[in-house]
Structure 1
Amino acid sequence: MVTYEEHVPLSEEDVPYYEDVTPGSGCLPPGAWLPGSDAARLPLGGTWRFRLSPTAASEDASFARPEYDDSAWEELRVPGHWVLQGHGAPAYTNTGYPFPVDPPRVPDENPTGDHRYAFDLPADWPAGSAALHFGGVESCARVWLNGSELGHFKGSRLPHEFEAGSLLRPGRNVLAVRVHQWSSGSYLEDQDQWWLPGVFREVELRHRPEGAVRDAFVHAEYDHRTGQGTLRVDSDPAGRVTVPELGLELATGESATVPVEPWTAETPRLYDAELATSGERVPLRIGFRTVVVEDGLLKVNGRPILLRGVNRHEFDPAHGRAVGADVMRRDLLLMKQHNINAVRTSHYPPDPAFLALCDELGLWVVDECDLETHGFAQQGWRANPVDDERWTPALLDRARRMVERDKNHPSVIMWSLGNECGTGRGLSTMAAWMRERDPSRPLHYEGDPGCADTDVYSRMYADHAEVERIGRRTEEPLPDGTLDARRRGLPFVLCEYAHAMGNGPGGLSEYQRLFETYERCQGGFVWEWIDHGLRQYTADGVRYHAYGGDFGEEVHDGNFVCDGLLFPERVPSPGLIEYKKVIEPVRFEAVGPDGAPGAVRVTNLQDFADLSALAFPWSYEVEGLPVAEGTLAVPPLLPGESAEVKLPAPPEDAPRDGEALWTVRAVLAEDAVWAEAGHEIAWGQLPAAPLPVPRPWTPSAAPRRGTDRTLTLGPGVFDATTGVLSRLGGSPVTGPRLDVWRAPTDNDEGAPWQPGQRCGPEWRRIGLHRMRHRTDAVTAEGDALVVRTRVAPAATSLGFAVVHRWTSDGAALRLEVAVTPQGDWPAPLPRLGVRMGLDGDLGAVRWFGGGPGEAYPDTSAAARVGRWSLPVDALQTPYVRPQENGARIGVRWAELTRPDGTGLRIEGEPHYFFTARRWTSEELDAARHTPDLVAGDRVWLNLDHAQHGIGSGSCGPGVLPKYRLEAAPAAFAFTFRPLE
């Protein structure tokens, strides 16, 4: 057994307790989280008294005396963070420590919060032992009860308890807690998140009667070959365990093997049980499952699993890491509803109630230790605590508190040593202790490329090509042949990939195909679940969300804290909608002739469940409108099975002159715990007939010169000098003119450490944000008005020769555009199309094409072809930092209308990207928060022949080659039809 030492002195130097490297003093040994006990419990959350000091210099503990007068102190909500309640300010850094790196010392500027809470002990509170429980305090707490000091602790996201029974008094009691924002523990908590000091998880008094459960360990294994589960519950002290549904009544320590239904993330079967000792009864929820690494694969219950996961920080836009049970459940319901099956608890153990919900609802969990020393990378990993034996007791304390607390959750299938700590002896000591304490779970850690202490090979942000090499087990070898052979035999998981910052991530579909192709590649976890934007309001009450630098931080990492699949208020982003589609567990593929399939192949991509819980409605659509509907009879396919299901004959009365599609869906047949009947799980669209031949365009009007330096062609009026359209159907317009600029996305801007993928800075260097237009010729050529222009940035010879050919049939106006790049373009283009401005009262949009949400070339899996309608304002995606957004892909036609129905219809050849907003790309680019975007009196349209992809370059790989928009000759056309 690896020893667990309580204290190793740093040196002869006398340092205050918050700077020593010990995990603390006075705490009870950690044990399992066992809610629902019949022993008395008293929650101590609510309104506390609070005083903030700018330093930790004061050693005066007189405030802890019960009689101390705190009437002049402020009030503070606990659980909570004082910086989110008007005391000081939050700060955000990604990797750098916001204080000098001089471990374990911290600066004198160390905000320290003194807390007091007076509570009445219930009259029927039993005498005897009691534990004072703290679920989480950042970053170091010193505790007194009724004037007597209990001890102190570090380890912000971990539970700590003190024996308090002898100090309790009848009637009024006073709890006092001194919390330091910075401590030696801060060096172990350099996670990518806000620094938020305070008592942010529950505080509770727990009666511990004689013979109460000090700890319990549930061992519930499942043998997939026999269908039997083996149960043993170890308890201190001994007692008895009953599982009524299984007819079991066992002494603790005794094993029994019986037929059971196994627990999986798809079928989260739990058995209610009770542990009874001489002093306490505790309910248990038992899930039988076995996790192993075998044959180079991660298996649960004998089957390899595919992780469709997310990384999840605990976050609420108003309360920070003080997250309530309702918010936790909402997170998990959203995950289940979006086909997510796994969570990595980045980068610390979550509130234990979250894990209980994962047990109930069904998600695989990688439970990660509260440990990250990423800031030492900037020091070349010098003085890294994980490789300094003086810190080992603190590391072991963190490992022990996680494992002991969470060991009874069937959802937890792997322990993670921590995140981005480099390598060191302390991690090896942690791993050895974990393996001995709980050999039933594999170990995870990404930061050691040699995988010396892990059971899976884990990486962050490996690009698609590298993932494929790893899948083939042909990755670059390690220098140590023994380690290389061991690592090459391990399953592979991307613990972070597809950085979901701003508009994106792109390339998800290609990752998923690799996961499904190579059995070694067992999925991964998108970074991350939610934007950490803190809720703020402008002076006139407009809500927005703050990020790094908005609170005057001297050192910060900007909006890198906003990189989630949810917006801060828990509204799904387009990235989450895309991820749901990419990882959907049922696939539909056409079977039969191209353009007219007679059947659909349905494949069950789940790991354990069959398809009996699903129904399969279909619809036959022409030009985006349903013509007929029904339900397919799909057999209850087992995992991995496929079946070809015959499609009905197209309706005889269906229109024959429009684009026809089958849409087939998989929906819940009955209510589930996490969604109602009818909830959509997966969908597919299949062409029902060859595409109709476009109607020929026959010009019938010729350009006419007016007396006021204008040209008229059909419904259009042009400036005779510049050839620019100025009126269309009687309404003023601006443009259209060639446009190649977009407000760079976070992924366009890229990460500083990936200079080769930073398109945004290169676009600005070239000058694409300040293009200039020159008219070379405006001529009438038969029925056509031909305008030749050159579009180019200053200070370079790069440019585009553009030919605009306008024609009309009298009622509509057609624009054919031919673009020829000039010069040797060193970077891809942001977009290629035309921009034009219309009347601001054209506020409603209807279109036939991809929708209903935004989509770009590599984020278009979720774009469903149909007819959609939205107000112009609803087309915008409110990214916390404004950027390019809102494009609709594959648009055949779009209509913008006024309340009276008049407006404009735009048809495109080929299909195009459509964007409409009430500000220009330049105004969007200049905005830093959503209130910076002020609607103007125009609606600005981008009609794009092509867009550059999105990628994941804000932290991960950039745009895949096939989605790069290289400068090349292009031709496209639009037809503008005024709607009267």
Structure 2
Amino acid sequence: MGRRDAQALCAGCSPGRPQGSDDRGRAPHGWLSHRGDAQRSGHRERQADYDLGVNRHEHDPTTGHVISRALMEQDVRIMKQLNINALRMSHYPNDPYIYELADRYGLYVMDEANIESHEYMRMGDEAKPPKTRADYQLGFKPEWERAHLERVERMIERDRNHPSILFWSLGNEAGIGPTFEKAAALSRNLDPHRLVSYGGYGTVDGPAVLPYVDFYSPMYDPPSELLDYAASNNAQPEIMAEYAHAMGNSLGGFREYWDTIYAHPTRLQGGFVWDFVDQTFYKKLPDGRTIWAYGGDFGPSPRPDSDNFCANGLVQPDRTYNPHAWELKKVYQPIDFRFDPAQGLEVVNRLDFKDVSGFTFRWRRDEDGKTVAGGPLPTPQVAPRASATLPLPPEATEQDGKTEAFLTIEAIARPGAIPLIDAGAVVAWEQFPLGSPPLRISPAAHGRPKFIESGTTAAVVTREGSAFTFDRSTGQLASWRSNDREMLTAGLVPNLWRAPTDNDSGASWMLKTSGIWKSAVANRKLTSFIVSRSGQAVRVQTAYRLGGDIADFALDYTIAADGSLNVAARLDPLKEKLPIIPRVGTNLQFKGAFSNLEWFGRGPHENYWDRRNGAAVGRYSATVAEQYHDYTRPQETGNKTDVRWFALRDTHGTGILVTGDGLLNFSALPVLQSDLDHDRRRGAPHRHGGDVTFRDLVSVNLDHLQTGVAGINSWGALPLPQYSIPAKNYAWSFRLVPLASGQDPAVIARRNAPAGVSR
């Protein structure tokens, strides 16, 4: 519920014995003292504090639930690096050593009794008259009372000397009933100083606020329901026992949770993301590759299993970050920044008990993705939960009028400021746009492209050594040769689909409703193919009627004498009440030799419309192979948002530059979209992210928009409405330009944008 101080003593702990505390013994890292007010409101010291938490199962990819001390230490280090301050022991008391680490390094702990009877809870919640919850849920059955109470008692007796523990949890998803009231009373009798929690009940009838616990602990409420609860008359504050289901390519809309929480600090106090680590196992394939094996991979079939439903972590089993971990780190950061040119820079301290003296601050100004200036800033005096204005030097916000400029502010850890965090580590940051001039359009090259027609093809040859060939039967660009070298494996085609993520599959919206867009593109028909001259250029206009007569899709190519290819795309739905569109864009495939990637946009890791706060705008370079993330099951991966331009090059430095008429989404992968798209219904063949074979090509998704990845849960929740693509008219354009060795893509991009571009 709060942030740690530099000595890693829990709030409510002190180096000396607190006056009036009862003597429960001294833990190695602090004395225990009272937590909670007389009304058990969940507040301490009359202040509501924040849980920036995570749930964690004990898991090792080789030994399962038997984990080493070294792995526990690594887990705690990663939590500190991700700005996590609270840990829920889901769903059982953990190895005692993890509590010692929490005491030593500073994590708030929710200790949880080993109680769960999930199916009985569900049956009771869904009981139809004359049946009631009492007919199913074990908390109503006297014969199960002792088993429940003994587990609560053993947990408290074993762990109560650990000052990091702030809450006792009565269990997880086991329904309600008199036994849980007795368990809460037992908890207070054994330890009157800690708060009591229970996230073990359904919410089918709305918020289930239990009078015998100290706060409301829902699971997987969307931000809108948090807002409703904050406005309600319920006295208990809310701490989510589980939220933001991090399964596969997930954690979309995470920022919206914390915008809501920070706006209602006395009512909403955070929660615990589900969960920390993918619970899958190493498995070596016959060809030597290693995959993450999941339910159904370990024995005869058919047999009961959870499929990949235990693969919902911020990190993989070997503790490699999943890309969405970066989003959590950014949203959980302890310091925020706001900038207004007229008001200056505001530093917002999210810490509950400390000022910001444990940090140094610095600024950096980037122009077109390259750092041109920077320096230190004075450390401001900012009390906990307060803000202050920090002056910036004039050069921090200078603009040359020729480039796109950004100001970045960073908070840097001082030596010893945060346990397990190295001095000099960036703990918090923010980026602010300073402005951008219109892109300059270079004069048209001299000369006119040659146009050569045949019965089945239409070819356009430019004076700059480029030749484009179109297939009249499909309308597709069949070949692009630059300096006598073939660039393409396959030309542009409409793309209104994506390989379903785990959230997409769980919600079923992709297959049940939006699958119409996949079949529509697969069954498109060319309705028009027109070649004409347009000034110093040749224009090739293609139009398609998508299958089912649900939409028209047009690709209008303009080939200039300099060898560049301008493309204007348009989607026009023809029917009403069509479902969400997964993506609005195109796909094309370049030769595999173009394996080096550079881009100016958000990065360096993948990011999406609803998960991009943790990815800064910058100029990045990597290989195409590095863009693929091996989620437990194959799915959409590798996207970049807010992209100004990107370039693909071979080892000699020649290649292709792509710029847009606005900000683009793109991905460049050594696999086809179809390689990641497969049947995920029960009984379908198992697929693994690690068994996808790379191809000798670069598949580029060049998108106007892509629907967000969502992240409320993985069994029904859609992306938030503001990150969904409604079926309506869309128009966008982009340009493809040959790149010679030694040419700077940023320079070429600024003078080769599609006409009318201004940022």
Question: Contact conserved, 2:261 with 2:269, CA < 8 A, in 1?
Answer: yes
Matched residue SS, 1:602: strand
Question: Contact conserved, 2:21 with 2:34, CA < 8 A, in 1?
Answer: no
Tell me the alpha carbon deviations over residues 237-265 of structure 1, each in whole angstroms, 9 at most, x when there is no partner. Answer: xxxx8xxxxxxxxxxxxxxxxxxxxxxxx
Q: Trace 1:302-701 onto structure 2 (pairs within 5 A).
A: 302-377=46-121, 379-380=123-124, 382-448=135-201, 449-473=208-232, 488-519=234-265, 520-551=267-298, 552=300, 554-593=303-342, 599-650=344-395, 656-671=401-416, 672-688=418-434, 690-696=435-441, 699-700=444-445
| Deviation, structure 1 residue 650 | 2.5
Matched residue SS, 2:149: helix
**Match for residue 737 of structure 1 among 493, 502, 518:** 493
Q: Residue 745 of structure 2 corresponds to which residue in structure 1?
A: none
Structure 2 residue 470 is matched with structure 1 residue 719: yes
- In structure 2, the CA distance between the partners of 1:651 and 1:577, relative to structure 1 (3 Å rule), is closer
Q: Residue 162 of structure 1 corresponds to which residue in structure 2?
A: none
Question: Contact conserved, 1:713 with 1:808, CA < 8 A, in 2?
Answer: no
Q: Trace 1:824-835 onto structure 2 (pairs within 5 A).
A: 824-835=576-587
AA of the residue aligned to 2:601:
G
AA of the residue aligned to 1:623:
D
Q: Trace 1:563-962 onto structure 2 (pairs within 5 A).
A: 563-593=312-342, 599-650=344-395, 656-671=401-416, 672-688=418-434, 690-696=435-441, 699-700=444-445, 702=448, 704-706=450-452, 709-712=457-460, 714=462, 715-719=466-470, 721=472, 722-725=474-477, 726-729=479-482, 730-733=485-488, 734-751=490-507, 758-764=509-515, 767-768=518-519, 771-775=522-526, 776-782=528-534, 783-793=537-547, 796-926=548-678, 928-952=687-711, 953-955=713-715, 957-962=717-722
| Deviation, structure 1 residue 296 | 7.9
Matched residue SS, 1:706: strand
- In structure 2, the CA distance between the partners of 1:893 and 1:967, relative to structure 1 (3 Å rule), is same
Tell me the alpha carbon deviations over residues 802-843 of structure 1, each in whole angstroms, 9 at most, x when there is no partner. Answer: 242324251422212222122225311111111100010111
In 2, distance between residues paired with 1:294 and 1:588?
Answer: 36
In 2, distance between residues paired with 1:408 and 1:231?
Answer: 17
Matched residue SS, 1:299: coil
Q: Residue 15 of structure 1 corresponds to which residue in structure 2?
A: none
Matched residue SS, 2:217: strand
- In structure 2, the CA distance between the partners of 1:813 and 1:365, relative to structure 1 (3 Å rule), is same
In 1, distance between residues paired with 2:499 and 2:232?
Answer: 40
- In structure 2, the CA distance between the partners of 1:610 and 1:473, relative to structure 1 (3 Å rule), is same
| Deviation, structure 1 residue 426 | 1.9
In 1, distance between residues paired with 2:210 and 2:574?
Answer: 51
Matched residue SS, 1:417: strand
Q: What number of residue pairs does the alignment pair up?
A: 691
In 2, distance between residues paired with 1:899 and 1:221?
Answer: 56
Greater relative contact order structure (CA < 8 Å, 6+ sep): 2
- In structure 2, the CA distance between the partners of 1:826 and 1:601, relative to structure 1 (3 Å rule), is same
AA of the residue aligned to 2:307:
G
AA of the residue aligned to 2:574:
Q
Q: Residue 5 of structure 2 corresponds to which residue in structure 1?
A: none
| Deviation, structure 1 residue 338 | 0.7
In 1, distance between residues paired with 2:379 and 2:166?
Answer: 33
Tell me the alpha carbon deviations over residues 128-149 of structure 1, each in whole angstroms, 9 at most, x when there is no partner. Answer: xxxxxxxxxxxxxxxxxxxxxx
- Structure 2 regions of 5+ residues with no counterpart? 1-9, 125-132, 202-207, 679-685, 741-759
- In structure 2, the CA distance between the partners of 1:619 and 1:223, relative to structure 1 (3 Å rule), is closer
Tell me the alpha carbon deviations over residues 458-511 of structure 1, each in whole angstroms, 9 at most, x when there is no partner. Answer: 10011221110101125xxxxxxxxxxxxx101111111110000011111110
Question: Contact conserved, 2:364 with 2:396, CA < 8 A, in 1?
Answer: no
Relative to the length of structure 2, the TM-score reads: 0.86
- In structure 2, the CA distance between the partners of 1:525 and 1:409, relative to structure 1 (3 Å rule), is same
Matched residue SS, 1:229: coil
Give the RMSD, CA atoms, in angstroms.
Answer: 2.5
AA of the residue aligned to 1:710:
A
Matched residue SS, 1:736: strand
- In structure 2, the CA distance between the partners of 1:579 and 1:928, relative to structure 1 (3 Å rule), is same
In 2, distance between residues paired with 1:779 and 1:395?
Answer: 77
| Deviation, structure 1 residue 913 | 0.9
Tell me the alpha carbon deviations over residues 301-340 of structure 1, each in whole angstroms, 9 at most, x when there is no partner. Answer: 4421111111111111111110111111111111111111
Question: Contact conserved, 2:554 with 2:569, CA < 8 A, in 1?
Answer: yes
Q: Residue 6 of structure 2 corresponds to which residue in structure 1?
A: none
| Deviation, structure 1 residue 453 | 2.5
Q: Residue 45 of structure 1 corresponds to which residue in structure 2?
A: none
Q: Residue 87 of structure 1 corresponds to which residue in structure 2?
A: none
Q: Trace 1:180-259 onto structure 2 (pairs within 5 A).
A: 229-230=18-19, 234=23
Q: Residue 299 of structure 1 corresponds to which residue in structure 2?
A: 43
In 2, distance between residues paired with 1:303 and 1:636?
Answer: 21
Matched residue SS, 2:606: coil
Tell me the alpha carbon deviations over residues 544-594 of structure 1, each in whole angstroms, 9 at most, x when there is no partner. Answer: 11111112361222111101111111111111110111121111111225x
- In structure 2, the CA distance between the partners of 1:716 and 1:835, relative to structure 1 (3 Å rule), is farther
In 2, distance between residues paired with 1:702 and 1:819?
Answer: 30
Matched residue SS, 1:548: coil
Relative to the length of structure 1, the TM-score reads: 0.67
- In structure 2, the CA distance between the partners of 1:562 and 1:720, relative to structure 1 (3 Å rule), is closer
In 2, distance between residues paired with 1:768 and 1:415?
Answer: 52
- In structure 2, the CA distance between the partners of 1:691 and 1:724, relative to structure 1 (3 Å rule), is same
| Deviation, structure 1 residue 955 | 3.8
In 1, distance between residues paired with 2:113 and 2:40?
Answer: 25
Question: Contact conserved, 2:497 with 2:518, CA < 8 A, in 1?
Answer: no
Tell me the alpha carbon deviations over residues 143-198 of structure 1, each in whole angstroms, 9 at most, x when there is no partner. Answer: xxxxxxxxxxxxxxxxxxxxxxxxxxxxxxxxxxxxxxxxxxxxxxxxxxxxxxxx
| Deviation, structure 1 residue 403 | 0.4
Structure number with greater Rg is: 1
How many percent identity over aligned positions?
32
Matched residue SS, 1:978: strand
Tell me the alpha carbon deviations over residues 736-795 of structure 1, each in whole angstroms, 9 at most, x when there is no partner. Answer: 1221111000111124xxx6xx334323356448623332222215234132321523xx
In 1, distance between residues paired with 2:568 and 2:20?
Answer: 73
- In structure 2, the CA distance between the partners of 1:422 and 1:466, relative to structure 1 (3 Å rule), is same
- In structure 2, the CA distance between the partners of 1:784 and 1:457, relative to structure 1 (3 Å rule), is same
AA of the residue aligned to 2:159:
D
Q: Trace 1:158-173 onto structure 2 (pairs within 5 A).
A: none
